[in-house]
Structure 1
Amino acid sequence: METRAFGTIRLEDGQATLPVGPGLLRPAGLDMLATLGDRVAMAAAAEFLDALPKHLATVRQHLMDGLDTAPERFASLFPELATSSATPADRLWTSLDLRSVWTDNDATVTLEFARDGAEDGPVLAAAFALDGTLRDLAVTA
């Protein structure tokens, strides 16, 4: 897939290596490509991926705000929130890895983050419209 920001993203078995932070590259599943059936949707997906650093910053900001205003929403993902010692929100953010990028039939793109690359357990799911509008940020099982 060709993008402006990342050049050619090589896909191998639905996996790509995407930047998730300054100087950090992580593999991410691109299952979103399987549900996009036309050129218009593929072009929108390429634009979405071009803006991935912006979307990651949006997720980070909403997570930071949520940890300040309603930390209980994130307790299953971050059990250390229940302890008396405060864990800096930035440390919680950096403990997350971008695990997958996928879309549904409504063209909602979901970025899933797991703790330190965990395969099982709760994930932070950020649902975006293809135009980059954040629709929802939630912890899912």
Structure 2
Amino acid sequence: MAKQKVGSAVAVSADSITIDTADQLIPIESVQKILNRSRASVYRYANTDPQILNPPFDPECLNPEIRNDKEAPLMFHPNEVARFAQDVLGIKQVTIAITPPAETETNRLLQALLNELQDIKKLLEAQN
């Protein structure tokens, strides 16, 4: 399976899940592609209950993140998807790679300011 982009921040290949940030949540469509299962199967795996908005953790189910509204879409943490794939589905190796965000001009400017302030601090400490 070639590397496939799922959404703006998730890429999936046969042996890995790559996300842009550590706190990135994965929508159900991405989980479907990651697990290579139908959408209906993913909904069957998901720990949901029509009467309870956020059911307690179930190790045999795919547990979504906490929702504030019943109409909110199911979102999953990458670690939960990996745990479910390994522990329940028996997928041997699941790798989740977090790629650092691309450095922007703002990041470079802030880093230069930080370096300048650190140099000023060292000079002031040396004078005292």
Q: Scaled by the length of structure 1, what TM-score is found?
A: 0.27
Larger Rg: 2
Q: Scaled by the length of structure 2, what TM-score is found?
A: 0.29
Q: Which has the higher contact order (CA 8 A, sep 6+)?
A: 2
Which one has a larger percent strand, Structure 1 or Structure 2?
Answer: 1
